Amino acid sequence: MEIDATDRRILSALQKEGRLTNADLSERANLSPSACHRRVQRLEAEGFIHGYVALLDARRMGRPTTVFVEITLSGQADEVLEAFEREVRRVPDVLECHLMAGTADYLLKVVAQDTDDFARIHRQYLARLPGVAQMHSSFALRTVFKTTAIPV
């Protein structure tokens, strides 16, 4: 399915304010409310809109420390990758896990209360992940900017 400029306006508005009413969204998209609703339903059905979330403030939630962890596995066999991916999904402090090209096999984004909490996460979860040969952790000192909005 192709998306047009109107779909892009809808997607852009929803990325900025996911709680817009259909009336407000239709006004921003220059559509009638019923036409806007049909387009949003189509964008959802076609998978352009994957879901709706509330974005929480990590600092207010007691998780101000962000750590990026590069992981190199002991091998590249499918069963090694699958075992790692299955187990890393179970680590509650991991927000993102990316299979990488380059020096590391995976890059994780982990949130923690502080360095002591990250040490606990490392000991309790990360060090026990299957197939891990090496781990390199980098602590973010400050977030310059952060967005979840994909350019439309």
The structure tokens 């075992």 sit at 83
Specify which residues 137 forms β-bridges with: 69
Q: What are 77-116's pLDDT values in tens digits?
A: 999 999 999 999 999 999 999 999 999 999 999 999 999 9
Q: Which two tokens stand for residue 79?
A: 């069963």
End-to-end CA distance of the chain: 15
- Whether the full predicted model's pTM is greater than 0.85, yes or no, is yes
Q: What is the pLDDT of residues 8-43, one digit of tens each?
A: 999 999 999 999 999 999 999 999 999 999 999 999
Q: Indicate the SS3 state at residue 25.
A: helix
Instruction: Quick: pLDDT tens for 39-52.
Output: 999 999 999 999 99
Q: What one-letter code names the amino acid at 2?
A: E
Residue 1: pLDDT over 90: no
The rounded distance, in Å, linking the Cα atoms of 138 and 131 is 21
Residue 148: helix, strand or coil by DSSP? coil
Of 3.40.50.10470, 3.40.50.620, 3.30.70.920, 2.60.40.2470, the CATH number of 65-139 is: 3.30.70.920
Task: Judge: domain 5-45, CATH 1.10.10.10.
Answer: yes
